[in-house]
Amino acid sequence: MAIVEITILPVGTHSTSLSKYVVKALKELEKTDINYELTSMGTILEGDLEEVLEIAKKMHESVFDEDISRVVTKIEIDDRRDKTSKIKEKKKSVEEKLERK
């Protein structure tokens, strides 16, 4: 199972706000059963690598419209094959090591 972070940046918008483009991309993601977590700097997806890459392509394509003719998408892949890796488990492992008191 892969954990993939995707950040989609439309170029040439008329505003500094990108939330309407984030919504377009998330609507594509919500058509699937892929587990995800929205963060302030991107979206983390969890699932079969082929499925995740296919939805990442759809998310990328969804941002293009009559005003946007260039989109830069960054994808970071953590594909662990020795055991199943999940978003929540990765976070929990770090938090436990921090031993917050």
Divide the 101 residues of the chain into consecutive groups of 10 and give the mean pLDDT of each group: 96 92 96 96 96 97 92 96 84 83 51
Stated as kind and residue range, the H or E segment containing 88 is: helix 87-98
Tell me what pLDDT residue 91 has: 83
Give me the amino acid identity at 41.
M
- For the chain, the structural domain boundaries read 2-98
Q: Which fold has domain 2-98?
A: Alpha-Beta Plaits (3.30.70)
The reported pTM is 0.86
Tell me what pLDDT residue 58 has: 97
Residues 35 and 93: their CA atoms lie apart, in Å, by 19
